[in-house]
Amino acid sequence: MSKQTSIAKVGFITATAIVIANMVGTGVFTSLGFQVMGIKSIFALLMLWIIGGIMALCGALSYSELGAAMPRSGGEYTYLSKIYHPAVGFLSGWVSAIVGFAAPIALAAMALGMYVCTVFPGLNPMYVAASVVVGVTAIHSISVMVGSGFQNVFTTAKVILIIIFIGLGFFMGEHQSINVLPVAGSFNEILSTSFAISLVFVSYAYSGWNASAYIASEIKDPQKNLPKSILTGTIIVLLLYVFLNFIFLYTVPINEMHDANGGPIVEIGALSAAKIFGVTGGNIMSIIISILLVSTISSMVFAGPRVTMSIGEDMSALKILGKKTKRGIPFIAILLQSSIALILIFTSSFGAVLTYLGFTLTLFTTLTVLGLFILRIKQPNLPRPFKTWGYPVTPAIFLLLNLWILWFVVNDKPKESIAGLITVLIGLVIYFVSKHFSKNETSSLI
């Protein structure tokens, strides 16, 4: 038996765990403080999470068709290369490597550090964050089976603990008198710039619904298990998010979600836990949330390098990124991604990275779902083991909401938008330089 065929593959449970772990991370525990800066209606705040969940589900349905039709690791890199042009695919892979995974790893680690330091204020949150990234990277550098086992254990613990937190939040601690029904001005808030900008944070919280698409080649029976993992994970997370944010709003007054300077408080989960369990219980919950964020970091350390690896396999000038160990681990790609995450931890602010990240990722998920329409026209006879439910309505909903978000972000957050576009342009330069060197290398061999 060859080394390649002996490499272990992950099943439906691990693939679903990766989707859930990618989704349930920093965003849901940190973004509410940013949202209440411009939105005060409880109905509008909960609608953010419902609309965000509908967007994620529509995107998940679209990606399920693309992933089943093109079951190769790489996610958007693979889809956009085949639908549009290899340059577009490279740009999405570049963004995934720099922004899509390294930045969320940094954000999750930074949030973890903040939560740990609410309990142990003498520690440095940046050093805590960096230590976790290094440790998780080491685990995923061993083998796929070790990484899968680590992922499954932490994701299972994450879901169970969130369900317990939601359940206890209904019956224990202090509760606010809140009205979840629309009141005067609620619908105006939903149509406001603040709502659209907040959808960036919510979209980030839901990002990861496409995670198993990045490791399609390493999933058993991907035509069947890839769509199942994407849809199952997304539906589970949608329900968890709506209930979890209800508990946050039910236990913490909105005026306490700001700091002394009027800025957003990131550690909303810790505030809510303190209201439910008291100060000591809140500290314990902060540590538990920190542990849950390890699962998020782990899932992205697992999935992200597979995109970079695919680029290395396709472009000879970057072939070092495609190198794998005897156990099938893309070690160079893992090391590169984690190094970028460590740089972001020590150089960037949480809020700026979050907005920049949301804008840049939205660009490429929009292009990918648009590609579903193009692929159906260009290749109507392509085998499609899974077809998007509700087509063309479901992908159209996703596209319209994403374009709405992008319009408001460009107008309200021009600096972060420009930073995202500059990142894309740098990727374009790297692509053409790499192609130039690849051609020269080919010519020298002739």
3 compared with 223, residue with greater pLDDT: 223
pTM for the model stands at 0.73
Please say whether the beta carbons of 9 and 218 come within 8 A.
Answer: yes
Question: CA 320 to CA 315: how far, in whole Å?
Answer: 10
The predicted-structure confidence for 59-102, as pLDDT tens digits, reads as follows 888 988 888 888 776 678 888 989 998 889 888 878 876 667 78
**Does residue 3 carry a pLDDT above 50?**
no
Mean pLDDT computed over 141-147: 71
10 compared with 445, residue with greater pLDDT: 10
Question: CA 264 to CA 258: how far, in whole Å?
Answer: 5
CATH code assigned to 3-438: 1.20.1740.10
**Does residue 371 carry a pLDDT above 90?**
yes
72 compared with 394, residue with greater pLDDT: 394
Mean confidence (pLDDT) of the chain: 81
**Does residue 5 carry a pLDDT above 50?**
no
In the prediction, which pLDDT does 1 show? 40
pLDDT band at residue 209 under the 50/70/90 scheme: confident
Cα angle for residues 68, 74, 76 (degrees, 5° grid):
80
Report helix angle 414-445 to 350-378, nearest 10: 60
Q: What percent of the chain has pLDDT over 90?
A: 8
**Does residue 353 carry a pLDDT above 50?**
yes
In the prediction, which pLDDT does 327 show? 75
Mean pLDDT computed over 177-194: 78
In the prediction, which pLDDT does 26 show? 63
In the prediction, which pLDDT does 352 show? 65
The predicted-structure confidence for 247-288, as pLDDT tens digits, reads as follows 988 988 888 887 767 677 777 887 888 888 888 877 887 787
In the prediction, which pLDDT does 2 show? 41
In the prediction, which pLDDT does 27 show? 67
In the prediction, which pLDDT does 25 show? 67
Mean pLDDT computed over 4-15: 67
Alpha-carbon Rg for the chain in angstroms: 21
403 compared with 284, residue with greater pLDDT: 403
Strand partners, 264: 258
In single-letter form, the type of residue at position 67 comes to G
Contacts of 149 (CB under 8 A, 6+ apart): none
In the prediction, which pLDDT does 354 show? 66
CB atoms within 10 A of CB 366: 18
Mean pLDDT computed over 428-433: 85
**The tokens 């072939």 sit on which residue?**
319
The predicted-structure confidence for 16-60, as pLDDT tens digits, reads as follows 887 887 777 666 777 787 788 778 888 888 998 899 888 888 988
